[in-house]
A and B are shown apart, each in its own frame.
Chain A
């Protein structure tokens, strides 16, 4: 199996070295063969993939425009809805759910010639940092099969890392794209909040949810972003700001003179080989002619508490819709309507989802709202302000993605507090709503990938991609 890129598929199709159908078949067969090892896919979609690929071939033969993603095999996280294709969110609750519409991101990708080959495994309703919370079993990291791929978009990261998909879509609420990208050694992008429509993304925490791409290089991720981004009338929080051709913007990759900030509050916690790789990366930027300086994000220590109050509060409201009436699982053991609700939710949700619904309900309940939810929203404003201040001094902030590389399956699953604390470096950017990404920056002595996080100001994806691309090619 050739490890294709968007560019290599585009060139090969143009030169008639292969057809889109051949690429799709190869990807589907490869995914089917690899899946028992990693459990990255919950379902493959051969009919839809081959039909889309045949359409690309027809257009090519007719000399029509085939789109920026023509013939590119793409995997989509199962929290993103696909019309007529089962979308489970990794939950028993939606085990048999067939969406009646496509997410806008999926529709745009397919309009650009992308070939959807399957739906990927994830933590139930995107709640988790290890992909161990899926009702359909954990995903294994293709780099080291006894380790987690990260979460919650573990399947999407693993699919791209193992090469069964060229690019994939994930969702990120507090790090669910960047952390698995770093654990699996691929590129993962969380765009500015509102840059990509959330229509058709099953809601977890609406003020924090993002859709973003995984890819094996920065250029491919940038290409997918240009296809997906932009105003969508179906999502009132989607932004109208014009969408540049991010990949074309990489042709000018001079980063000399750019100012890069390293947050002292992050690095004081970073230890071991992860910290070493980040310091190596920073030194590399120095050699490329960037000006590196220490900066301060003083509210960082409050981020975990803030994030878990806000995300659980929003989740408890969003997940109230799963009541056994309109869609999803319904408990058979129910006398009254009220019993039906309680039994359905008790039987349909897994442990982590229940934990977050309980926390969210508690912090929003009478007498606690001001102390928790309102307070967290104020601290969120302080965290966002830290970044606003930082971006007056620097073009970008660089940081680790995770305090440690991929851990062993089962290692942290019984300690929710430890699992939550591991999100420290990713949730600050999520709370501020700024674009952030993970780009591979080497490995540990054991060969486990380490990710470098790059964060820029709102709507400055182009600058972020340029810095990541320059790093990748240096």
Chain B
């Protein structure tokens, strides 16, 4: 086993993900199997190889990705709030974060 249940709970907290006890046990088993696959990367010789963060093309014209910096209309406030679970006075509402 590469991981412990404590590791799984730590990663779940980083990911803001609430897992039930049953899910935690299952996750431990699944992640261990998948990480065994991923650990094969360690044995590959990548000396002198630049990481590929994005698919890049040689021709500069094809990757000239900057658009003109112009003012454009954005979503109306009401539209932007349209899918929120809770909103009011033109804002998204969340549970209280500052205790009095």
Contacts and interface: CB of A to CB of B under 8 A. Distances in A.
Secondary structure at the B interface, as helix, strand, loop or mixed, is loop
A340 interface: yes
A379 B51 CA distance: 8
A298 to B, nearest CB: 11
Interface stretch (A279-287, A327-335, A391-399): A327-335
Contacts, number: 173
A378 B53 contact: no
A358 B16 contact: no
B83 A325 contact: no
B27 A302 contact: no
B46 A325 contact: no
A305 to B, nearest CB: 5
B34 interface: yes
A374 interface: yes
A35 interface: no
Contacts of A193: 55
A81 to B, nearest CB: 12
Interface residues of B, number: 55
Interface in B15-55: 15-20, 23, 26-27, 30-31, 33-35, 37-42, 44, 46, 49-55
B85 A324 contact: yes
Interface stretch (A232-240, A249-257, A441-449): A232-240
Contact of A207 (B34, B54, B75): B54
Given A309-B38, A345-B17, A355-B34, 18 more contacts: A193-B55, A194-B55, A207-B55, A305-B37, A308-B38, A325-B85, A328-B83, A330-B86, A349-B17, A354-B17, A358-B8, A358-B15, A359-B35, A365-B14, A378-B51, A382-B49, A420-B37, A433-B55
Interface of A: 96-98, 100-101, 193-194, 207, 233, 236-241, 302, 304-306, 308-309, 316, 320, 323-330, 334-343, 345-347, 349, 351, 354-355, 357-359, 361-363, 365, 371-372, 374-382, 384, 416-417, 420, 432-433, 458-459
